[in-house]
Amino acid sequence: MKAFGRFWWDFLVGDDPKIAVSVVIVLSAGAVVVSASSGTWAAAAVAAALVAAFAAAVVLDVRRRR
């Protein structure tokens, strides 16, 4: 059972937990926008915010590794 859990953790999370958390956040935000039927402007604003957050995370991650 422990090996089964480790397999799924490695498969879903992998090397970087930030990526797994980012995917969950993006999917959740998309679900909220779609379920709220708030239109394309809200979807565009959410998408722009998520892209900006992802770009900031990449820049911070690259700076730390140098």
- pTM exceeds 0.75, yes or no: no
* pLDDT computed for residue 65 by the predictor: 57
What confidence tens digit (pLDDT) does each residue in 21-63 have? 877 887 787 777 777 765 677 777 777 887 888 788 778 777 7
Indicate whether 66 pLDDT > 70: no
The type of residue at 53 is A
Answer yes or no: are the C-beta atoms of 21 and 54 closer than 8 Å: no
Residues in the chain: 66
The token pair at 29 is 């935000």
* pLDDT computed for residue 3 by the predictor: 92
Answer yes or no: are the C-beta atoms of 46 and 33 closer than 8 Å: yes
The token pair at 11 is 């498969």
* pLDDT computed for residue 17 by the predictor: 78
